[in-house]
Structure 1
Amino acid sequence: MANPATPRHGLARALSKRGVCSRTQAAEWIRAGRVSVDGRIVRDPEFPTIAGRHRIALDGRSLDDAPERRVILLNKPRGLVTTARDERGRDTVYRCFDGAGLPWLAPVGRLDKASEGLLLFTNDPAWAARVTDPETGPDKRYHVQIDALPDDALLAALNAGIDDEGETLRAKTATILRTGERTAWLEIVLDEGRNRQIRRMLSVLGIDVLRLVRVAIGPLELGDLAKGVWRELNSDEIGSLA
């Protein structure tokens, strides 16, 4: 008998946690009769399963063995949403993988539609959780173009913390990269990843973001990878992040 403290997961979630597919795709496969639990076809995506106790198979192939970890770095173009399927019909980041023959890979964190730059994908949910952990995960570095000329007061405010409707948002560091006549580029490093954090901080200060590019996660840099192009990380790069 299972320990009452042993976590149970719905069948669709169990498949997605194994890096096989998204939860939505898993639900479709389950309803189509492609998934079995302990040798019996199950068509309920919420069927409760316990890791290590139930044998799950897809099209008769056991999923007990974890797939080889894959991690992809994409230079996300502006205008794509970070989701597998958008209910409003907008183009998603998965368009960049068309025809590549990759296995199911989930985004590691997100970049909003208007943001660009380094975005990771993996089939290893546990590794992804370590990378995105706000306490122990690596810092994220951004280059941000703003519609103002920054001064020491602006940088101090970003570093000290800004209240946005009761939530305190702060940068780990904020520095000036370069300035023009009316705009400037900042480098902002975050050690946590709250929703639209940089845009929200600057908006409170009355500043609009013109471009936002994530250029690094920990020691991993975007480099000169072209927009919309991806590459696979090697084992050393993967290990350096989590």
Structure 2
Amino acid sequence: MTGQQHPVEIDTSKPHTARMYDWYLGGKDNYPVDEAMGRQMLALDPRVPVMARVNRAFMQRATRWLAGQGIRQFLDVGTGIPTEPNLHQVAQEIAPDARVVYCDNDPIVLAHAGALLRGTDEGVTEYLQADVRDPESILEGARKILDFDRPVALSLIALLHFVPDEDGAHELVARLLAELPSGSHLVISHATPDFTPEESKAATEKLKAAGVTLALRSREEFTRFFDGLELVDPGVQVPHLWHPELGEPVPGQDDGVIPGYGAVGRKA
């Protein structure tokens, strides 16, 4: 484990996005308040658990593709509660010497990181307790494990729609990318209101009332995260249609379009 350790204090009085995500995936690391809000989201759009599974599958396919391209270092910000297979398991299955740094600000993730984020003997798997809004701390910690003279895959899965423009979401991503060398990649999945505007508006208001910020973005706003990068084929796509041939299951035909985007970009 990397970084200074602190006692884990978990606030169970209000819902937390990582625990809600865990509930959607059928996990057990959540509390009644998370389930209650999760059920409210289901009432607005019953596909929410499908969205969670689609995000996980997109992460796995993107990681598998990157490892196949020779990427051996991964920085995963907004890790969430571990759910197998985790990113390091996908990467190290292809490249046992892959080095993976996980980063999250949720104390419940910290509580599980030591037990669950164990990788191969040849590789390295570490965890940082830090917030995406503090890129300097992330970069400082990651430098101790990753070689910033070699390409790094920066992964931000289902995270940035919880970071509003007032917090400088695009600037935060740009700051992290600025320290990574040529050949590095950016991987993002993100919820959008483009396909379900009314449901998205209602979900945003419900979460705001519970103290959770939801910053849904349009295709144009999402694509801005990749300014200056070379988009990997097929470019900006709904997540389950980004290289589905790489193996993870896609939603059923009855689920329709999943309201989100996913993309991978390469730094020249």
Same fold at TM > 0.5: no
Question: What's the TM-score, normalizing by structure 1?
Answer: 0.26
Question: What's the TM-score, normalizing by structure 2?
Answer: 0.24
Structure number with greater Rg is 1
More strand by share: 1
